[in-house]
Amino acid sequence: MFLCRQYSVLVLNKPESNSQPWAESLVSPSHRIFRELGISDQINNLEKDCCIPSIGIKSYWGNETPAYSDAFRNPDGEGWTINKPVFIRRLQQITRTFPMRFQEGTLITVKNESSQWKIGFSDQYGNEERVTAKFIIDASGRANILRKKLHLHRIRKDELICISASVERFKEQCLSTIISDENGWWYSCPLPGKKNAMLISYYTDADLVDKKAIQDPVFIKQLLLSKKAIQNKLEIKEFNEYQYLGIRAANTSKLNNIGERNWIAIGDAAMSFDPLSSQGIYKAMVTAAQASKLIIAADFINIPDIERTNTFYDAFYKSAHNIWQRYREHHYHFYYMEQRWKGSAFWDRR
């Protein structure tokens, strides 16, 4: 959105195949970026099926006494719990009001020739189209569509996965909850877009659970029934309206090369964070905003010049390095706070 003020922009968007409700946190500093883009009013007026205010978090981490945090003392105000598929669709609708071309389609080929990209894609009707571009930004998330095209490698720091289900919640408003256990941790929150529903997710390493067992739709239910103390902390009285939501990758990972020769990767395409950080969507927006401002400042796209190009990439690499280093420090700090499970493979790895 920042770039369309100065450049001709094509957004190639692959339609989301999974439309199941899925809750994620959108932290309060996101307000700043929405204000910069001039879309705060549209975001604040989104329906409750898309996002609801996050009133706070209760965590059982490091001991059995819960710790609480809320938005009252946060200068940025409250964050949101979003229904991610719906939120992304709404954000795309807002994007279409900006002066850029928004195209539904799937990338087929990408090749760099004479300092220009030759890009081939198929649209939503299966028709193939070819375009040229001076610069590519990969914002495709963990799918990382440029990785195979450019023969890049993704470095995974762990094998964290997320197994999720939704159940009926018995409170009109409820806190999000985080609970550690011997082989991972639990997370629950209200699920926008599903009346009186709550998302329950269990995070663990892929090799610590039976691969066949986690495919069973009743896995989360059976696991909680065997862990009554956790079930009580999550305030689940009964498993009414139970729905299995599947398994997702949640590992910490990064691309071995986040940009060169007229392309960059941002957001999860460049580096993916542990969901414990609650930084996934916010980090994607921050890296997009920072990269856009650096591109505009250097203006090496309109004025091809090696010095301008180097200025951009030096600043871009430094910014990405700082984000990664801060995340790794915080990741170590928060996992180190939990010392009750010494000898557990999950905690020893962290």
Q: What is the pLDDT along the chain (350 residues), one digit of tens a residue?
A: 899 989 999 999 987 766 677 889 888 889 899 999 999 999 888 877 788 888 889 999 999 999 998 766 666 777 889 998 889 989 999 999 999 999 999 999 999 988 899 999 998 888 999 999 999 999 999 989 998 889 999 999 999 999 999 998 877 667 899 999 999 999 999 988 777 889 999 999 999 999 999 999 999 999 999 999 999 999 888 898 899 999 999 999 999 999 998 999 999 999 999 999 988 899 999 999 999 999 999 999 999 999 999 999 999 999 999 999 999 999 999 999 999 999 999 999 99
- Going by C-alpha positions, the residue among 295, 310, 75, 273 that lies closest to residue 156 is 273
Handedness of CA 284, 148, 300, 320 (dihedral sign): positive
- Domain-terminating residue out of 227, 249, 271: 249
Would you say residue 206 lies in a domain? yes
- Domain-terminating residue out of 229, 249, 269: 249
User: Do 88 and 177 belong together in one domain?
Assistant: no
Query: How far apart are the C-alpha atoms of 10 and 30, rounded to whole Å?
Result: 24
- Domain-terminating residue out of 201, 216, 249: 249
User: Do 126 and 216 belong together in one domain?
Assistant: no
Query: Do 170 and 239 meet the contact criterion of CB atoms below 8 Å apart?
Result: no
Would you say residue 146 lies in a domain? yes
* Coil, helix or strand at residue 93: helix
User: Do 38 and 133 belong together in one domain?
Assistant: yes
Would you say residue 350 lies in a domain? no
Residues 6+ apart with CB under 8 A from 281: 24, 25, 26, 30, 82, 84
User: Do 145 and 291 belong together in one domain?
Assistant: yes
Query: How far apart are the C-alpha atoms of 222 and 214, rounded to whole Å?
Result: 11
Q: Tell me, what DSSP letter sits at residue 259?
A: B
Residues 6+ apart with CB under 8 A from 68: 56, 57, 58, 59, 175
Residues 6+ apart with CB under 8 A from 264: 136, 137, 138, 258, 270, 291, 316
User: Do 283 and 140 belong together in one domain?
Assistant: yes
Q: Where are the beta strands (DSSP E) in the chain?
A: 10-13, 23-26, 51-53, 57-60, 67-69, 80-83, 101-113, 116-123, 128-133, 136-138, 154-156, 160-168, 176-181, 184-190, 197-205, 243-249, 253-255, 263-265, 271-272
Would you say residue 289 lies in a domain? yes
Would you say residue 347 lies in a domain? no
User: Do 100 and 214 belong together in one domain?
Assistant: no
Cβ atoms < 10 Å from Cβ of 97:
11
User: Do 145 and 244 belong together in one domain?
Assistant: no
Residues 6+ apart with CB under 8 A from 237: 170
What CATH number does the domain containing 84 carry?
Answer: 3.50.50.60
User: Do 119 and 224 belong together in one domain?
Assistant: no
User: Do 183 and 152 belong together in one domain?
Assistant: no
Element at 36 (helix H, strand E): helix 30-37
User: Do 33 and 99 belong together in one domain?
Assistant: yes
Query: How far apart are the C-alpha atoms of 265 and 27, rounded to whole Å?
Result: 22
At residue 110, the pLDDT reads 95
Query: Do 313 and 325 meet the contact criterion of CB atoms below 8 Å apart?
Result: no
Would you say residue 70 lies in a domain? no
User: Do 205 and 274 belong together in one domain?
Assistant: no
What CATH number does the domain containing 209 carry?
Answer: 3.30.9
Would you say residue 60 lies in a domain? no
Number of structural domains (the chain) is 2
Residues 6+ apart with CB under 8 A from 125: none
Query: Do 63 and 123 meet the contact criterion of CB atoms below 8 Å apart?
Result: no
Number of H helices, E strands in the chain: 9, 19
Would you say residue 34 lies in a domain? yes
User: Do 119 and 231 belong together in one domain?
Assistant: no
Domain that holds residue 212: 160-249
At residue 317, the pLDDT reads 97
